[in-house]
Amino acid sequence: MPGMSRIRLWQVIRKEFKQLLRDPKAKPLLLGSPIVQFILLAYASTTDVERISTIVVDHDRSADSRALVEAWRATGYFDVTTHSDDPTVIIQGLDRGEAVLGVVIPPGFSRDVRSGRGATIQAIVDGSDASVATVAQSYVSQVSGRFGARVAGLDGTGRGVELRARAWFNPSLKSRLFNVPAIMATLILMTGLMLTTMCVVREREIGTLDQLQVSPVTAGEIMIGKTVPVFAVGVFHFAIFMVLTLGFFEVPFRGSALQFGTAAVVFLLSGMAIGLFISAVSATQQEAFMLMILTMLPTIVLSGMLSPVSSMPVGLQWITLANPVRHFLDIVRGLFLKGAGFAELWPQFGALVAIAGGTLIAATRQFERSIR
């Protein structure tokens, strides 16, 4: 930028670092809060369904029906809390939230299974949580099907089709390997967005921005001086999150570290630009905070972190193309789990660079107008 002085710029950066470290509201954002949030969210974000509370009503009371219940227990997916012969126990358990799944084994179950005709069991699932209900039904079907074939003496080679599935990139299908990189991306965005959102409007409220305006410092020096400390904090958090992701949560990284670092820098700059734009258009910290929340929530929801973008309405899918989080998540998951390179991820890299460039230009112009 024309007229920029390195000495003045360095003084502004020093001032911002000191102010950031002295601000009691900013200290939790610098150290404890992001790390604690990352660990808590990484543990809580698992969608793996285990120990499903189950009530079994066994009308057959045979060795085979008991063996079927033990087969369910042995998987670790089912926690059989009640074993009864009264079907009303299932309804009561579902109503009270004491069980997610109820299974009724009919009379003659053992006879039907051993005759080869096949037997029917009833599964009643709490559908208030659709994802858990779907997984529970699938688990019951798979375990019961294997049990029935084994008891009937079928090896699966002479009848029907035998499915041998293999999951690439995540053989154990652990949801944490999929979710932890997404949480890291979200927290990096939140840090850059929150710190830059408050940087200008706070000084406008306390009056120090007016002092900067009458000083020899240019608008470009003010903007860069305010964003450099935030960028340094974002890089610091990024390094800590990477150590926790790779070392503590043991998420494999199969891609290029250089490509990942480049994408993270561009992504952080886009988040900072959005925060700077919000700060420049806001008159008070309260207004800036509200705009930040209104921006952050749709950004996360429309990123593909909570639900696949392909499952969204077509109109929303087009809107997500302007969301930097969506493209960064594709890059992160591609590099971590798939070992993808630039040849596969160049559309996401290009979109991320375009979004970051556009937001930086818009934020710069709005910032310059706000301090004139």
pLDDT in tens, 128-143: 767 778 888 888 888 8
Give the C-alpha separation, 250 to 243, whole Å: 10
Question: What are the beta bridge partners of residue 78?
Answer: 52
Segments making up each domain of the chain, as ranges = 6-45+174-370, 52-151
- Contact between 241 and 188 under an 8 Å Cβ cutoff? The reply is yes
Give the pLDDT of residue 225.
84
The amino acid at 57: V
Contacts of 58 (CB under 8 A, 6+ apart): 65, 66, 69, 83, 84, 85, 105
- Tokens 């209104």 belong to which residue? 294
What architecture (CATH level 2) is domain 52-151? 3-Layer(aba) Sandwich (3.40)
pLDDT in tens, 148-190: 777 766 544 434 444 455 667 777 777 788 888 889 988 888 8
Closest CA to 184 of 28, 351, 44, 39: 39
Return the number of other C-beta atoms located less than 10 Å from residue 26's C-beta: 20
Give the pLDDT of residue 147.
81
* DSSP code for 169: S
Give the C-alpha separation, 68 to 296, whole Å: 48
* Full pLDDT tens readout for the chain, 372 residues: 556 678 888 888 888 888 777 777 666 667 677 888 888 888 877 777 778 888 899 888 888 888 888 988 888 888 887 777 788 888 888 888 888 888 888 888 888 888 777 778 888 888 876 777 888 888 888 888 888 777 766 544 434 444 455 667 777 777 788 888 889 988 888 888 888 887 778 777 777 766 666 677 777 788 888 888 889 888 988 999 999 999 888 888 988 999 999 999 999 999 998 988 898 888 888 888 899 989 988 999 898 888 888 888 999 999 999 999 999 999 998 898 888 888 889 999 999 999 999 998 888 888 777 766
Q: Is 346 exposed, middle or buried (0-12, 13-18, 19+ CB in 10 A)?
A: exposed
Give the pLDDT of residue 45.
74
Give the pLDDT of residue 260.
92
Give the C-alpha separation, 45 to 60, whole Å: 40
Give the C-alpha separation, 183 to 26, whole Å: 21
- Contact between 133 and 125 under an 8 Å Cβ cutoff? The reply is yes
Give the pLDDT of residue 200.
76
Return the number of other C-beta atoms located less than 10 Å from residue 92's C-beta: 14
Question: What are the beta bridge partners of residue 123?
Answer: 103
Q: Is the pTM of this model over 0.95?
A: no
Question: What are the beta bridge partners of residue 79?
Answer: 53
Closest CA to 38 of 193, 232, 240, 192: 240
The amino acid at 275: G
Return the number of other C-beta atoms located less than 10 Å from residue 34's C-beta: 22
- Contact between 181 and 38 under an 8 Å Cβ cutoff? The reply is no
Contacts of 135 (CB under 8 A, 6+ apart): 49
CA distances from 96 to 90, 92, 100, 126, 130 (A): 10, 6, 10, 11, 18
Angle, helices 324-333 vs 285-301, to 10°: value is 50
Query: What value does the CA radius of gyration of the chain take, rounded to a whole number of Å?
Result: 28
Q: Tokens for 96, please give them.
A: 């009270």
Give the pLDDT of residue 163.
44
Give the pLDDT of residue 21.
76
Give the pLDDT of residue 165.
57
Angle, helices 175-206 vs 324-333, to 10°: value is 140
